């Protein structure tokens, strides 16, 4: 009906009729961009300030895991990243004494505040990884830990009286330490990254990059498609050109951890904290946790009664293919 009135009506009848509004099109109209300056200030841009206030009030969680053989500088690097003693370092490092028989997983929480914003940081250490003679399947306890955190979150999420803010213990980022001496990835490195990239964001780093020669560094670069960050960690400060900087003193001079001519620590720090922290959290939630959740809810039917997470409440969710972290 294009004209609005049927053609058979008389003139009299027509004069009494108030024209009907035209039927609205079913398709939503494209939003038209309006220059709000012309019409006066609305206040849309205050959302940024509102979000900022909210983050200031609630703070945020960030959970970072470190994996790699003992002595590669994991604790030192995490302390360097957050400029504080967030990971315990053995005071006099003794390889023999420190190595546990199996992979242990230890989570230590801290609150770090900067500019009025509180970060609840949890550092998850995995001493013992890769330290045994036979390191077959030593990634398993780590994968188990990561999945246990997803399970905890899922249990909270499906609870009828669920909390407004579910405590987030999920691992948002896993720094994987590659030995600087191997010239390339060892089978253990490949195994770990192959299995764990399905469940967590992995950022590979070449540890103790100050111990590599330039040739070794470029050899590593040629072998890998994308170079893992070659990093140096330190908790000692030195005076360089009138400024105090974190560095390592060597017979050839001071290696400054934040100097890009010396190592790629600053790139790693910028990526993990300054540009992609929110992204790491979102990928954890939207991809890794979502994959776990879909699989878990689908599998639930197979669990014995009582152990079932949900009973019969939720319908099965289609499983999404396992995405890998970039
Ligand atoms: P973890 O066992 O992997 O946690 O290693 P630690 O952080 O406890 O460090 C082990 C030893 O390596 C300590 O003596 C550190 O001072 C030293 N270390 C840490 N980071 C570096 C680095 O980037 N370069 C060098 N040359 N030594 C480092
Ligand atoms: Mg350590």
**Among all ligands shown, which has an atom nearest to the Cα of 93?**
1
Rounded to the nearest angstrom, the distance between the alpha carbon of 89 and the centre of ligand 1 is 9
Cβ count near 240 (within 10 Å)? 13
**The two structure tokens encoding residue 122:** 């949890």
Rounded to the nearest angstrom, the distance between the alpha carbon of 97 and the centre of ligand 2 is 12
Q: Hey, which residues does 175 pair with through a beta bridge?
A: 66, 203
**Among all ligands shown, which has an atom nearest to the Cα of 77?**
1
Q: Which atom of ligand 1 is nearest to the CA of 76?
A: 7
Question: Rounded distance, CA 160 to CA 131, Å?
Answer: 44
Rounded to the nearest angstrom, the distance between the alpha carbon of 127 and the centre of ligand 2 is 7
Question: Rounded distance, CA 286 to CA 172, Å?
Answer: 11
Walking along the chain (326 residues) 10 residues at a time, the average pLDDT comes out as 43 51 67 68 94 92 96 95 81 57 89 94 94 89 97 93 92 96 86 96 95 80 71 94 94 92 95 97 98 91 51 48 43
Mutate to test the pocket of ligand 1, among 71, 236, 250 (most ligand atoms within 8 A of CB): 71
CA-nearest residue, atom 9 of ligand 1? 73
Question: Residue 247 has what pLDDT?
Answer: 96
Question: Residue 98 has what pLDDT?
Answer: 59
Rounded to the nearest angstrom, the distance between the alpha carbon of 233 and the centre of ligand 1 is 7
Question: Residue 38 has what pLDDT?
Answer: 66
Question: Residue 216 has what pLDDT?
Answer: 80
Q: Rounded to a whole number, what is the largest CA-CA distance in the chain? A: 106
Question: Residue 103 has what pLDDT?
Answer: 86
Tell me which residue of 65, 273, 285 sits closest to 168, measured CA to CA: 285
Question: Residue 302 has what pLDDT?
Answer: 45
Rounded to the nearest angstrom, the distance between the alpha carbon of 122 and the centre of ligand 2 is 14
Tell me which residue of 275, 290, 280, 277 sits closest to 323, measured CA to CA: 290
Tell me which residue of 226, 202, 166 sits closest to 284, measured CA to CA: 202
**Among all ligands shown, which has an atom nearest to the Cα of 81?**
1
Question: Rounded distance, CA 20 to CA 209, Å?
Answer: 77
Rounded to the nearest angstrom, the distance between the alpha carbon of 257 and the centre of ligand 2 is 18
pTM over 0.75: yes
**The two structure tokens encoding residue 110:** 């801290």
**The two structure tokens encoding residue 217:** 């560094």
Q: Which atom of ligand 1 is nearest to the CA of 70?
A: 2
Tell me which residue of 125, 271, 83, 288 sits closest to 198, measured CA to CA: 288
Q: Which atom of ligand 1 is nearest to the CA of 68?
A: 3
Question: Residue 323 has what pLDDT?
Answer: 45
Q: Which residues line ligand 1 (CB under 6 A)?
A: 70-76, 89-90, 93, 208, 210-211, 232-233, 248
Question: Rounded distance, CA 150 to CA 169, Å?
Answer: 8
**Among all ligands shown, which has an atom nearest to the Cα of 90?**
1
Euclidean distance between the first and the last CA atom of the chain, given in angstroms as a whole number: 54
Question: Residue 17 has what pLDDT?
Answer: 52
């Amino acid at each position: 009906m294009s004209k609005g009135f049927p053609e058979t009506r008389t003139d009299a009848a027509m004069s009494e009729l108030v024209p009907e509004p035209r039927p609205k099109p079913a398709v939503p109209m494209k939003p038209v961009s309006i220059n709000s300056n012309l019409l006066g200030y609305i206040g849309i841009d205050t959302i940024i300030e509102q979000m900022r206030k909210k983050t200031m009030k609630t703070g945020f969680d960030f959970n970072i895991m470190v994996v790699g053989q003992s002595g590669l500088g994991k604790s030192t690097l995490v302390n360097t990243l957050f400029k504080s003693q967030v990971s315990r370092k053995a005071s006099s490092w003794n390889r023999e004494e420190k190595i546990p028989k199996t992979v242990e997983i230890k989570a230590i929480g801290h609150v770090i505040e900067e500019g009025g914003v509180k970060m609840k940081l949890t550092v998850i250490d995995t001493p013992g990884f890769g330290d045994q003679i036979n390191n077959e399947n030593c990634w398993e306890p780590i994968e188990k830990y990561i999945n246990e955190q997803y399970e905890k979150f899922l249990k909270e999420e499906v609870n009828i009286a669920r909390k407004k803010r579910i405590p987030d213990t999920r691992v948002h980022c896993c720094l994987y330490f590659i030995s600087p001496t191997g010239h390339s990835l060892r089978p253990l490195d490949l195994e770990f990254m192959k299995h764990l990239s399905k469940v967590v964001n992995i950022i590979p780093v070449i540890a103790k990059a100050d111990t590599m020669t330039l040739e070794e560094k470029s050899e590593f670069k040629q072998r890998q498609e994308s170079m893992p960050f070659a990093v140096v960690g330190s908790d000692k400060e030195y005076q360089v050109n009138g400024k105090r900087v974190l560095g390592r003193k060597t017979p050839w001079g001071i290696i400054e951890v934040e100097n890009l001519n010396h190592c790629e620590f600053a790139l790693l720090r910028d990526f993990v904290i300054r540009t992609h922290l929110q992204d790491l959290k979102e990928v954890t939630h939207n991809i890794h946790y979502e994959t776990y959740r879909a699989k878990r809810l689908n599998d639930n039917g197979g669990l014995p009664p009582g152990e079932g997470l949900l009973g019969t409440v939720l319908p099965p969710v289609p499983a999404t293919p396992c995405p890998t972290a970039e």
